[in-house]
Copies of this chain bind each other. A is one copy, B any other.
């Protein structure tokens, strides 16, 4: 019975039949993650409706029916992509803010950190998850939208204290609520035109954004 440790060939062991909740987490997560990554890339490139589950399966090296072993529907897969993107973005931005607080950075510098991290989340290599969320919001079902909106509100909430401080010190003249929407819009739009093969780097973009939004 010591063969419960038999992990030499992890691919050999595969829970037959019942899709219970207690599946080999390591292996299943592997394939599931491959599907998520493939879906994110394709959803971003062609859009949700124009991407077939067959496309996604093929990109993950599976047969056409297999994605449905991991996700109940295409719709659920879309949601999973977005949720994964938002959780990662949120974790990253929280870490950024904590570091800022520890270093006691000025609000201006804090904003710079937020902007930089935001650009990274949007434009970094393989970061297709958040862009999918930005451009497929309308493809969600109302219930999914409501659920994700909580994460989005949390993410945007991280910007508010910084913007409020900058507004109080007259560095930011627009009302905070509209400033937040306009600033995030300026950044989010970059996924439409940013080309990593061309010159501008995330640093350049952050410089330009800061110069645009804040006086010297």
Contacts and interface: CB of A to CB of B under 8 A. Distances in A.
Interface of A: 45-50, 135, 137-139, 172-175, 178-179, 181-190, 192-193, 200, 204-205, 207-209, 211-213, 215-216
B45 A208 contact: no
B193 A181 contact: yes
Contacts of A179: 208, 212
A190 B174 CA distance: 15
Number of this chain's copies in the complex:
2
Given A173-B216, A212-B174, A138 B184 contact: no
A49 B49 CA distance: 6
A41 to B, nearest CB: 13
Given A174-B209, A212-B213, A45 B138 contact: yes
B50 A139 contact: yes
Given A174-B209, A205-B178, A209-B174, A187 B190 contact: no
Nearest to A179: B212
Contacts of A139: 47, 50
A40 B124 CA distance: 33
